[in-house]
Amino acid sequence: MAKITMQSPSSRFFYPWPLSLVSCVDQAGKPNIITIGASSICSSNPPTVGVAIGTMQYSLTLINETRDFGVNLPRRDQLWQADFCGCNSGRNMNKFEAAGFTVQEPTKIKAPLIAECPVSMECKLVETVHLGNHDWLIGEIVAVHCDQSILDEKGRFDPTKTDPVLCFWNEYWSIGEKLKSWHYARTEPRPE
Ligand SMILES: Cc1cc2nc3c(=O)[nH]c(=O)nc-3n(C[C@H](O)[C@H](O)[C@H](O)COP(=O)(O)O)c2cc1C
């Protein structure tokens, strides 16, 4: 393998990322949604998630006011709505209404959730890291709402039922096939 060294580094060579919809609310109660590609789980105990939000984004202003946000994970059949929320600003419209999403009332935060998304997490902002043109917002997950359609018959989370969307370069991709389970190298030898 011959690697080429890029002279101008870019974060775009980190791939792929899950498509998520971050929900928030303004002081008058108007809900908003920002489509987010750059996100990650940060810690499992306490459970935290990080999202990168551009410093000029309208949604960032709202989140800084309430200090909380929702992280909603769309399915493949909600891709148009997700893309719509990523190319229109809540400054000019109610994106819940315009995209055809329904507000789900939160239980522990001010920001609303998206009823149609199979997973919605209520997050309280615990830290903001100022990095440049994006802030990295770390939220503690204080409640999770999970649709029964992605649970198995015993009520356990079944990832094969989620049908998530991945951002890969500037495109949307679906997930491929399962390769292995974590830690299989403990029991299987290195392939020849
Ligand atoms: C697939 C996709 C991924 C995006 N990822 C991010 C992101 O990680 N951070 C960000 O600040 N904006 C991201 N955007 C852009 C915002 O979603 C977009 O600017 C949106 O209109 C901002 O909404 P607002 O003005 O209501 O806050 C993304 C857009 C798309 C379509």
pLDDT tens digits along 94-112: 999 999 999 999 999 999 9
Mutate to test the pocket of ligand 1, among 19, 35, 93 (most ligand atoms within 8 A of CB): 35
Determine, yes or no, domain membership for 153: yes
CATH number reported for the structural domain that contains residue 139 in this entry = 2.30.110.10
Across the chain, the runs of DSSP E, i.e. the strands, are 17-18, 20-25, 31-36, 39-44, 47-54, 68-73, 103-104, 113-114, 119-130, 134-146, 165-168, 171-174
Q: What is the pLDDT of residue 144?
A: 98
Tell me which residue range forms the domain holding 51.
Answer: 17-186
User: How remote is the CA of residue 112 from the centroid of ligand 1, in Å?
Assistant: 18
Q: What is the pLDDT of residue 8?
A: 87
Say if ligand 1 is within 6 A of residue 60 CB.
Answer: no
Determine, yes or no, domain membership for 142: yes
Determine, yes or no, domain membership for 167: yes
Query: Averaged over 130-159, what is the pLDDT?
Result: 97
Cβ-based neighbour number of residue 151 at 10 Å = 14
- pLDDT tens digits, 141-152: 999 999 999 999
How many domains does the chain contain in total? 1
- pLDDT tens digits, 44-87: 999 999 999 999 999 999 999 999 999 999 999 999 999 999 99
Tokens of 130: 């100022």
